[in-house]
A and B are shown apart, each in its own frame.
Chain A
Amino acid sequence: MLCRILRKSDPESFVLYLWRNRPTIVIGRNQNPWKECNLKMMASRNVLLARRTSGGGSVYHDMGNSNYTVVMPREAFTRDKCAEMVSRALHHADIPAYVNERHDVTVEGRKISGSAFKLTNKRAFHHGTMLIDTDLGRLHGCLHSEAKDDIEALGVESVRSVVTNLREYSLSIDHLTFCQAVMREFGRTFGKLDVGRNVTVWDESDTDVVGMVEEERKRISTWKWLYGQTPRFVHRFGGVVGGKPVVAKVSVYHGHVTEVSLEYDAGQEDADDCGIFQMISDSLVDAPYVAADIRGCLGPISRESPAAAELCRWILEKIMEAASGDSA
């Protein structure tokens, strides 16, 4: 929907778009879902994954979080303009919000909103989240990957901040009052807003609108977009298998394994070990970096010998810490 607005709106216009959605982790355009999210927890708690087209870090959405986007002419864009507009809207709700040096809307040093931007030739947009009454426990859980320190990635890493809900500062704020406050401030900041004529509200029952964006929706739901758009990374992990310390390095590009290197710490590989290492590596190359696929590839190898089985079991266990997302 956002891409449509970006491309099809009048180049001189300012558009405000407010929405919310069911539990989803939204990662930035160039981020790494294995490193940023706890894919296992997300799967078990029914939290979806999405990758947006704007930059920045990962955020957690649920129905207690409201999202705002302002689309504007490219020359009018500054990183703080809309964040300040939203802060002013919150002042009218008696919430002392301000914009910090990272362009995030903050209250008392705690972040309530994250921002991301996209610039094209003629237009620009700023979108942000607003934590009104979000499940912060789930937020922290889903945004913490157990493999975080083991993955060496190119691309953008999220910057963690202490967060809080607006609920801590106001009993009366909710999605609707937030939207009304932002609409009013948007009108004040960018020009008159004729609520009768210029404001449209959609929900899931608006089938023609839903149909309009169906193609986009399909494209951004593919594994190729969600996982395959990840810049090159290496997942490095170590452990003790069969009494010997071992280090594994899995290189992944476009979401598929390109190389697996295994070695014993003390360099004690014998011919058999090398054979097993090679088999494992060969079987995993080109596999999508998803636990289910990895398990499938390693299955036959683990039947070769008890040593191979133990190695495969350990590798799978480690990979599952990161790669428990959906299959390709």
Chain B
Amino acid sequence: MTQGNVGQWQKSIGDKIEPGDVLVEIETDKAQMDFEFQEDGYLAKILAPTGTKDLSVESPVAIIVENESDVAAFADYSLDQAQSGGAAAAEPTKETAAAPAAAAKAQEAAAPAASTSAPAADGSRIFASPLAKTLAKEKNIDLAQVSGTGPRGRIIKADIESFVASGASKAAAAATAASTPAPVAAAAPAAPKAAKAAPAAVDTSAGFTDIPLTNMRKVIATRLTEAKSTIPHYYLTQNITMDNVNKLRKSLNTAANGAYKLSVNDFVIKAAASALRDVPDVNSSWQGEFIRQHHHADIAVAAATPAGLITPIVKTCDAKGLRAISSDVRDLVTRARANKLKPEEFQGGSFTISNLGMYGIT
């Protein structure tokens, strides 16, 4: 998150703020969230009123003071004074799971009404900015070990960063991973993954063999995937009694005297061809800007070859007789298996028949 809009202020000037109190609502990129303040204090000044748009994360939104008596001093305060008064810089915050969504941290001015005495460093309370505390927690740093350079010895973000840089904490990497799923920041996605154990290196000595792909197999895979994903599929099933067809086939084959041998597949091809002639809408292909209605039934027949599946085309089945169809299929399949098909013999066709009947598949 780099900027946000300021929503409704939930606290007014002079209100006592306790850790966890919602100060103001923040909206960024359609997400509405509450900015909770995690320290004690009194709201002295609102620098970004409700409705302020596109406020950068680094901008101060309010001033919180430790003592109620200091509130009045900020009545006429403005940001320009802060710049020239050499006050502590506002620190940007980021969205994390630990801290509630925050826009900008409250700014503390060092100069005006410094009636509070510097607290003795008696070890009972460590002064650190909310951001510094969050960072320290993330990086598993004990605040007691960090020396503060902020106002009145306060530990600020820069102190944590230099502490880390001095190499004093090695636990940084592991700890950060556990707590940071920032929804918007691009850097974050890497972190949660680091927390999971790295996958064990694969033992390739047993368990599988990688088979390189032939071009044909690559093309088949591409085309089938393309067909399945770009073309709407629907399924119709009908049981046909083939008794009469089988009778006809037997009698025709007997009369053939070896000149030909008709298979059930040939009959299916011929029947399909006739049907396509009767219903030209089915003998059509979608060409994007128009529909191509074919005048002839060019029927592709699925043939299994050692190299893969191919579908040679029997042309003009509507005008061919069973015998012609049969011999064409035989010829095409033989040459397909020998890898001797010409491109125009397997490209095109508006209807395909796959017959797995010999395996008992209907």
Contact = CB atoms under 8 A, between A and B. Distances in A.
Interface of A: 28-30, 53-57, 74-79, 94, 103, 115-121, 153-156, 229, 231-233
Interface of B: 5, 7-8, 25, 27-34, 36, 49-53, 97, 100-101, 181, 183-184, 232
A118 B5 contact: no
Given A116-B30, A156-B27, A232-B51, A75 B36 contact: no
A118 to B, nearest CB: 5
Contacts of A116: 30-32
A55 B31 contact: yes
A244 B53 CA distance: 36
20 contacts: A28-B32, A30-B5, A30-B27, A30-B51, A55-B30, A55-B31, A55-B32, A56-B30, A103-B29, A103-B30, A119-B32, A119-B100, A119-B101, A154-B53, A155-B50, A155-B51, A229-B8, A231-B49, A232-B49, A233-B51
B29 A79 contact: yes
Contact of A154 (B25, B31, B51, B97): B51
A178 to B, nearest CB: 20
Contacts of B30: 28, 54-57, 79, 103, 115-117
Contacts of A118: 31-33
A219 B277 CA distance: 70
Contacts of A231: 49-51
A28 B51 CA distance: 13
Given A55-B32, A103-B29, A231-B51, 19 more contacts: A29-B7, A30-B32, A54-B30, A54-B32, A55-B29, A56-B30, A74-B97, A115-B30, A117-B30, A117-B31, A118-B31, A118-B33, A119-B100, A119-B101, A119-B183, A121-B36, A121-B100, A154-B52, A155-B5
B183 A78 contact: yes
Contacts of B100: 119-121
B188 to A, nearest CB: 10
A60 B32 CA distance: 20
Given A53-B32, A119-B33, A154-B52, A30 B8 contact: yes
B103 to A, nearest CB: 12
Contact of A119 (B7, B8, B31, B51): B31
Nearest to B99: A121
Interface centre among B28, B29, B232 (most CB of A within 10 A): B29
B31 A75 contact: no
B79 to A, nearest CB: 17
B34 A120 contact: yes
Shortest 6 CB-CB contacts between residues of A and residues of B: A154-B51, A231-B51, A56-B30, A117-B31, A55-B32, A119-B33
Contacts of A28: 27, 30, 32
A117 B50 contact: no
A153 B32 contact: no
Nearest to B98: A121
Contacts of B29: 55, 79, 103
A144 to B, nearest CB: 21
A116 B27 CA distance: 10
Contacts of B181: 75-76
